[in-house]
Each structure stands twice: as structure tokens, then as C-alpha cells.
Chain A
Amino acid sequence: MVLGLYAFADIAADGAPHLNSAAGEELVRVERAAAVALGSRAPEPPGTLFITTRRVIWVSEVEKGKAYAVDFLAVSLHAVSRDPEAYSSPCIYTQIETEDGSDEESDESDSEVNVETELSKVTEMRIIPSDPCQLDGLFEAFSHCAELNPDPNAESDEENGWAHRDEGDEDMTGGSDAECEFSDVNPIGQTDEHDITHAVVELQINDQRFEDAEEAEHETHGNGH
């Protein structure tokens, strides 16, 4: 799974990208004369947008060989933006998930040119069609394709977000609200891995840890730092 935006080079003579048809990639929508703006940079001169079942590819019409792509797996959010106060042109606004600083595949990109690493750090992309009436159609195409690309490893992702430090933090006491809310769940019995009581204890730990995380925004904890 490739996170972030990347340069796309596999373009046919007619300007269309070569798709990975072996992996079932198909073209869903083509939008000509669409500008793209990366992060806070100014929009690039118009190009052609290709929405496929796996990714979004933008190919410059002005600068030959210039093209970007981002996998739908890395598109966290997409939305229609029409308010001129937020952005000068009506556009599809997207947020892009990027690799964290310390990823194991980084040694490959180290040897690449600087532009490549810059691209991979872009977290926002706007697509500005020449005809604003296309926005809703583009949004629907994005939504359709996003649904075609669920996370392959959603569970382990979630675990990273939550379940770690638990064992070391047994001195934490849970929130009484959660205990109260689930007290009548206790007698039900056991699941395969662990009993409900254990789950309730986890619940309280999660609760406590969540509050820590929130508070960490305005006060620094001694714990771990």
C-alpha cells in the first residue's frame, strides 16, 4: 500500500496513463482541463484527471511527462469546496495520508530526486475543474472508488492507535461512568479470547488513556518524555 502522492511516469503517447489492468484497474472517469493544486502551492496549469478504480492520476497537458498519482487507499477525505472565501475556485478538496517520518521503505526514496520526497509529503490536494458543474459528479466518482478500496489491514491499523501501552499502566483507574454503563454486561459470560470483565477493564483503561491524550495537547506529561 502506497501512501502519499507520487510521480507517475507510465504515460502512453496519447497522454493517457497505462493502467495496471493485471490488477483489475479500470478507468472510471476522465476530466479534461482540470487544474491541480498541491498543498498551499498555486494551481498547476490544467491537465487531465483520470479517476480509476484504484487511484487518481493527473497528467499535465502543458508539461510533457509531468504527472501525479495518489492511491485511493491514501485519500483520507474528499469534499466539494465551493466557498470563494476558503478557496478562490470551486474544487474537490482532498486530504492525503502520508508515510510517517520513519518508514521502512524510505531507503528507496532516499536515492530519488528531491521532488519525489516533496510529493510524498503533500497532505492536501485540490482538483479544480474548468467547469464547476462537474464537481458533484467528480465527488460521486471519488466516493464510488473510495468504497472500492477498503483498507487491507484495517485491524492492525486500529490496534496501533489503541491497544498498546495497556499492560504497563495497570495503576490507572478507570472512569466510573463507563463502569456504570456496562455493569450489567458482566454476567453474560465469556468470549473465546477473554472474558467480559477483562474487556470492561480495558474499556476503562482506554477511557483514561483517551483523556490523557486530550490533555497532552495543552500540558506535557512527564510520562515517557
Chain B
Amino acid sequence: MDLSVFHRRNKSQVNEKDIIVTSNFATQLFFSYFKELVGKEVTVELKNDLAIRGTLHSVDQYLNIKLENTRVVDQDKYPHMLSVRNCFIRGSVVRYVLLPQDGVDIDILHDATRREARGG
């Protein structure tokens, strides 16, 4: 198991209580979990540092992510992406997905990690 879930701290651009889930391994677990978050607002940070906030439209088994109503977090750095409304992000280039606190059920996540640990 290499599940990395932790509170994000000391970052001004996001709510202090936002939770970060990295997509290292446990892809199946994340897939199941992210499916529950469809319709919620998330921020996807890419490995090239681009961070895009938007409504999670869909996610697939490879953790490809479709966002709607997107906006780039750092608009000064990426002005040309201002206009993008919907966006398909390749799962393999995702570094983090930041979830809103109210979109996270810690109990479900704990259960999922326990199942993952037993299954492993």
C-alpha cells in the first residue's frame, strides 16, 4: 500500500483543511473513491505545476480526469488557459488532486485503505 492522504498546511491558495490525495499506487482505490466525488469541486495539480480547478465531470480507471467550469489557479503564469471551460487531463500527468473538505468522508477512506491493506 502506498496511499498518501494528508492534510495540506500552510498554503494560501487553498483552504487549509483541503485534503490531498496523490495518485501513486492504489489506483483502483482512488478510482472508486473519485467516482463518488463527481460533481464536486476539485483542484488537479499536474506534474508540470499547472493547477486547474473545476467541477469533476468524470474519472476513469486510469484516473484520467474530466473537469468542467475550469479555471487555472495561477492565471498570471498560464494566461492562455483562462478561456478553457472543460478539460481532459491524462491520469499519468496528475500529481495531486485536492479535494474540498466537505467532499471527503474520512470514514469511507479509512475503510477503503483497510480493505486495500487486507487485500494486499
Residue numbers of A with Cβ under 8 A of B are 75-87, 93, 95, 97, 124, 139, 142-143, 146-147, 150-151, 154-155, 157-159, 161-163, 175, 177-178, 181-182, 184-185, 188-189, 191-193, 196, 199, 202-203, 206-207, 210-211, 214
CB distance from A179 to the nearest CB of B (A): 9
Residues of chain A within 8 A (CB-CB) of B9 are 175, 177, 211
Q: Is the CB of B25 within 8 A of A211?
A: no
Residues of chain B within 8 A (CB-CB) of A210 are 20
Residues of chain B within 8 A (CB-CB) of A139 are 86, 88
Question: In this complex, what residue of B is CB-closest to A84?
Answer: B83
Q: CB within 8 A of A77: which of B27, B88, B117, B118?
A: B88
The complex places the Cα of A189 from the Cα of B3 at a distance, in Å, of: 16
Residues of chain A within 8 A (CB-CB) of B101 are none
Q: CB within 8 A of A158: which of B24, B80, B87?
A: B24
> Of residues A93, A150, A159, which shows the largest number of chain B Cβ atoms within 10 Å of its Cβ?
A150
Q: Is the CB of A199 within 8 A of B2?
A: yes
Tell me, yes or no, whether B73 is within 8 Å of chain A by CB: no
Q: Is the CB of B23 within 8 A of A158?
A: yes
Q: Is the CB of A185 within 8 A of B82?
A: no
The complex places the Cα of A211 from the Cα of B20 at a distance, in Å, of: 12
Residues of chain A within 8 A (CB-CB) of B70 are 79
Q: CB within 8 A of B81: which of A75, A86, A189?
A: A86
CB distance from A166 to the nearest CB of B (A): 11
Chain B 37-66, CB-CB to A under 8 Å as 1, else 0, gives 000000000111010000000001010101
